Amino acid sequence: MLEKTTQMNLLYDFYGVMLTEKQREFVELYYLDDLSLAEIAEQFEISRQAVHDNIRRASAQLLDYEAKLHLVERFERRREVGSRVLSILGNNPSQQECEHAATLVRELIEE
């Protein structure tokens, strides 16, 4: 569940503005504020099922945006490569390691 929550939070950071106001509100309460379906339902005076359906649709929409745009995937790749470059450069690198780091940076720029 934690992995799904983390994934949804990241997707929300990138694509949340593309959701409806109601979807944003429910996603924020459920994933960011960690409220239960019952707590959200009580707050909005609707059924838990209605909250669940809304969150499910919003989650599907976020996943669909990622499938089409790949912004999170690119972000994760850049973060991974950046960490590798910092690791290489932080250990008194040889000339070959510096060249490898430069190659990684070039690949990022060209993406």
Is 78 found in the same domain as 43? no
Which secondary-structure segment (H or E) carries 2? helix 2-15
- For the record, the structure tokens of 47 come out as 């059924």
The amino acid sitting at 79 is R
Is 81 found in the same domain as 64? no
Is 62 found in the same domain as 79? no
pTM above 0.85, yes or no: no
Task: Output the pLDDT for position 1.
Answer: 59
Which secondary-structure segment (H or E) carries 34? none
CA distance 52 to 39: 12
Task: Give the pLDDT band (50/70/90) at residue 108.
Answer: confident
Structural domain total, the chain: 2
Is 35 found in the same domain as 10? yes
Q: What is the CATH number of the domain that holds 52?
A: 1.10.10.10
Is 89 found in the same domain as 43? no
Q: Report CA-CA distances (Å) from 85 to 18, 22, 88, 100.
A: 33, 41, 5, 8
Domain ranges, residue 84: 73-110
Is 46 found in the same domain as 7? yes
For residue 81, give the nearest of 51, 59, 109 by alpha carbon: 109
